Amino acid sequence: MSKIIKNLKQFSTANERLEGAHLLCPGCAHSIIVRELVNCTDHNLVIANATGCMEVCTAVYPYTAWDTSWIHIGFENAATSAGAIAETYKVLERKGRLNKNAENTKVLAIGGDGATYDIGFQFLSGAVERGHDFTYVCLDNEVYANTGGQRSSSTPVGASTTTTPAGSQSIGNKTTKKDMIGIMAAHGAPYVAQVAPNKWKDMIMKFQKALEINGPTFVNAMSACTTEWRFPSHQTITVSDLATDSLAFPLYEIENGVYTINYRPKNIVPIKDYLAIQGRFKHLFKPGNEHIIEEWQKRVDKKWVQLQKMEEMTNS
Amino acid sequence: MSKEYVLKEVEFWDGAMASSQALRQAEVDIMAAYPITPSTPIIQNYADYLSNGYVDGEYIRTESEHAAMSACVAASAAGARVTTATSSQGFALMIEVLYQASGMRLPVVLNVANRALAAPLNVNGDHSDLYLGRDAGWINLCTFNQQEVYDMTLMSFKIGEHKNVRLPVMVHQDGFICSHTAQNVAPLQDDVARKFVGDFEAVDSLLDFARPVTYGAQTEEDWHFEHKAKQHKAIMDSINVIEDTFEEFEKLTGRKYNAVESYMMEDAEIAIVALGTTIESSIEAARQLREEGIKVGIVAPRVFRPFPYDKIADALKNVKAIGILDRSSPGGALGMLFNEVTAAIYTNDTKPVINNYIYGLGGRDTTIADLKQIAKEIQANADAGKLTTPVQQFSGLRGPKLSFFDMESSK
Amino acid sequence: MANVGWDEVNDAALLNPFENSMQDLVNTAQSDRDYSLFSSFSASTASWRVVKPIYNSDVCIHCQNCWVYCPDSAILSEEKKMQGIDYDHCKGCGICADVCPTNPKSLIMYEEATVEDSALASWPEKKKKEKKA
């Protein structure tokens, strides 16, 4: 069952299910998010993890960082795997072959944006469409970090990555970020949400909700990447604060089509402040590139208006 | 509980039906599949049993074959008896996950209705897909007719799930020629079949929280080699369990299977080595040739992986010439079966003359007359004590004769 | 972990984090768990550190910000009280010091070689709030 977590002191009594001495970079947001994910519930968890930083750094023989059942098959098939495990649970329960200790189990899939937005997109779409009872959490750091910082379809415009390097003839990545949350909502998934690790309470509320709701649920977790976004490792939460307060990553949820904005920053920070702290956007502050930031700000403003309208419309 | 499906002593089944009836009797928990010709009827039949209560399971209708095999791997790791079926392009799409299934030692059963690989696109039978998966670490059982499809599919669960094996198993049948043509099949009744296959015992299940387990860890240069070596030993050793299972099956049904099948080899002077339905045609060709005085026998690996190197060598030790037939486009080499069989007989004291035929690609009919012609060429090699033809020849191909490595004339 | 031979490696490269069967994992504290050598709990990333956090319990208000934001499960917390740093697993990222809300901070990053006692002896004074101009 989901436990009621009122405050951090209470949360801190949770017994760890993700151990340290995994091999993620110092300051990595992935493990902050996933620690909160696996520790916010009392359910037994089976995790299907797509290839990516989280996978490659937590299960390198002879060590596993996982204190729960975990499987990694490939880059693209975490959603399929989770769906199949959920179906297995159903069959074994029906046939009386389920272990007694497996009652009260939830199935999770974890993937990066490479696995989710790109190579596993079809698999995720299929698994969500089929309606398996599982929760998919995307650790969205907007880049293929594990393979050395290549762009993904989640990479925002203007980001300098190793496959879209900024240079005299290039502003970096030329495409805008794919709207995965909208796409998942369009599948009719009963619950879709965006979270950020700095807002831990909002994040675990949504993780708990996603786990409790029957059917395929999807959570996109903003995961600031110290290595590829190029900021010092101690600033992960600072950068995350700027991401949520600038509305680069608005925190909202869509439950059965109904939008709820979960966080309205008291003071909305200009997008340029969020960009300025990250090395991947350094070139945008050179003369001649002002328009990139201006256009970005317009997009953020527009999206925020849209979200509020959606909230109003779907709640009326 | 599933309903009993009463079967006649002899049924008239195509290969797909033979396979799906065996899957039904094995009480598969999860089928995850994507349709592709000619394997499709296998999964359709299973869906029909499911819809009518003849099997208690779940059919995950995945959006691709890659997802189908992914679902099989995950469900197997979670403690389910799982299966899927595919052909050709679908098989090719599964390849990545085939290696995951064997590397994680999961006893998935895959029925393959063998079909050519594009381009150019072709839906008919050849062994291109079988060859494509040969290094994937799966046990490969070959069938030559519908009865064998039924028998091998039943046995595949028992073999793969054996505690000393724990490996995935493919059962191959020729696309269309076997999958879509019917012959008499003598099935077991449900209770007998179920008892033979046995209950599925989950090992290292993801759904056992008393012992949480991590599947799919990374092993780099300091560990990978040891793990792959151990996996290789497991598949090499599986031959013992395969042969034991064949023996147990013989006691139950009277049908005897061997790792390497030999037909009319007792007094054979020459041999044809092949796979699939070509075996039945070759047997018929051999009967006719024997009336003409040509003593031809047929050797066929029933177990293609683990490759029965020693038993192939033994089966072919007394012949003067061998023709080895490959039903797959060799892509710039001699046929794979030719290479493997040649390697096996190299250790024999006898040095038969050997040649290679590429035949029947994309479902091109291979007739008794074609096989008789091949046997006559092999006989000519035996008589001459040396090659009278190039090493590799294409059989049944239109246009000028296509052949490679004319060793004698280049001397 | 010793590099054993092919005959001794785990079948299928499976890893079990616990030695024996674990009856009630979510209600069993790390200290009461029977970790196997295959759990990364048994491993250390201490050598990754260039700087390390030093904890001053006198200033700490046990808010658990450091616990929740630690990416390496390296904040030792028991019964809602911060207990210190798990230096086997801490990589020295500095997030804990960054998110510490006390004044002065209860966690400060020091060079790895710093002796804890000397750091504590010269802990910074409370900073006065700068008045906004």
* Peptide bond just before B300 cis, omega within 30 deg: no
| Distance spanning both ends of chain B, measured CA to CA | 70
Question: How do residues B22-70 score in pLDDT, each as one tens digit?
Answer: 999 999 999 999 999 999 999 999 999 999 999 999 999 999 999 999 9
Domains B11-253 and B260-404 share a fold: yes
Q: Where are the domains of chain A?
A: 8-315
Average predicted confidence (pLDDT) for chain C = 94
Question: Which of these, C125, C85, C122, lies nearest to C105 by C-alpha position?
Answer: C125
Buried b (16+ CB within 10 A) or exposed e, C10-23: bebbbbbbbeeebe
B53 in reach of chain A (CB within 8 A): no
Alpha-carbon separation of residue A73 from A77, A101, A166, B86 (angstroms) = 7, 24, 34, 20
Q: Report the pLDDT averaged over residues A278-289.
A: 97
Domains parsed from chain C with CATH numbers: 14-43 (no CATH), 44-120 (3.30.70.20)
- How many angstroms separate the CA of residue A59 from the nearest CA in chain B? 5
What is the SS3 assignment for B316? coil
pLDDT value at residue B409: 77
- Least CB–CB distance from A126: residue in B62, B208, B215: B62
- What is the distance between the alpha carbons of residues A88 and A94, in angstroms, rounded to a whole number? 10
DSSP character at residue A176: P
What is the SS3 assignment for B60? strand
Interface predicted TM-score (ipTM) of this complex, two decimals: 0.97
B362 Rama sector, left if φ>0, alpha if ψ -120 to 50, beta otherwise: left
pLDDT value at residue A1: 59
B6 in reach of chain C (CB within 8 A): no
Q: Report the pLDDT averaged over residues C16-41.
A: 93
Percentage of chain B with pLDDT > 90?
98
The values of phi and psi at residue B229, to 5°, are -65, -40
Question: Which of these, B109, B153, B115, B114, lies nearest to B17 by C-alpha position?
Answer: B153
Which residues are B111's β-sheet partners? B85, B171
CA angle B312, B314, B318 (to 5 degrees): 115
Question: How do residues B192-205 score in pLDDT, each as one tens digit?
Answer: 999 999 999 999 99
Test A64 with C77 for CB contact under 8 angstroms. Answer: no
Does position B2 have pLDDT exceeding 90, yes or no?
A: no
- What is the distance between the alpha carbons of residues C69 and A198, in angstroms, rounded to a whole number? 8
- What is the distance between the alpha carbons of residues B146 and A214, in angstroms, rounded to a whole number? 43
- How many angstroms separate the CA of residue A111 from the nearest CA in chain C? 17
| Confidence band for C132, pLDDT divided at 50, 70 and 90 | low
Query: In CATH, what number does A8-315 get?
Result: 3.40.50.970
DSSP character at residue A59: E
Looking at beta carbons, which residues of chain C come within 8 Å of A18?
73
Question: How do residues C89-130 score in pLDDT, each as one tens digit?
Answer: 999 999 999 999 999 999 999 999 999 999 999 999 998 877
Q: Report the pLDDT averaged over residues B281-294.
A: 98
Looking at beta carbons, which residues of chain B come within 8 Å of C7?
230
DSSP character at residue B187: P
Average predicted confidence (pLDDT) for chain B = 97
Looking at beta carbons, which residues of chain C come within 8 Å of B103?
12-13
User: For residues B257 and B300, is the Cβ–Cβ distance under 8 A?
Assistant: no
CATH superfamily of B11-253: Thiamin diphosphate (ThDP)-binding fold, Pyr/PP domains (3.40.50.970)
User: For residues B115 and B87, is the Cβ–Cβ distance under 8 A?
Assistant: yes
Q: Where are the domains of chain B?
A: 11-253, 260-404
pLDDT value at residue A218: 98
Give the lowest-confidence range in A150-164, A207-221, B290-304, C1-15. C1-15
Test C1 with A21 for CB contact under 8 angstroms. Answer: no
Q: CATH fold of B260-404, please?
A: Rossmann fold (3.40.50)
Does position C133 have pLDDT exceeding 60, yes or no?
A: no
Q: Report the pLDDT averaged over residues A215-242.
A: 98
Which DSSP string corresponds to A215-242? S-EEEEEE---IIIII--GGGHHHHHHH
Which residues are C15's β-sheet partners? B214
Neighbours of C, requiring at least 3 CB pairs below 8 Å, are A, B
- What is the distance between the alpha carbons of residues B29 and B81, in angstroms, rounded to a whole number? 5
Please name the residue ranges forming H helices in A100-145: 113, 121-130
A104 in reach of chain C (CB within 8 A): no
- How many angstroms separate the CA of residue C22 from the nearest CA in chain B? 5
Beta strands B303-305 and C107-111 are: unpaired
CA angle C110, C111, C112 (to 5 degrees): 110
Neighbours of A, requiring at least 3 CB pairs below 8 Å, are B, C
Q: Report the pLDDT averaged over residues B237-250.
A: 98
Q: Report the pLDDT averaged over residues B227-248.
A: 98
Test A68 with C29 for CB contact under 8 angstroms. Answer: no
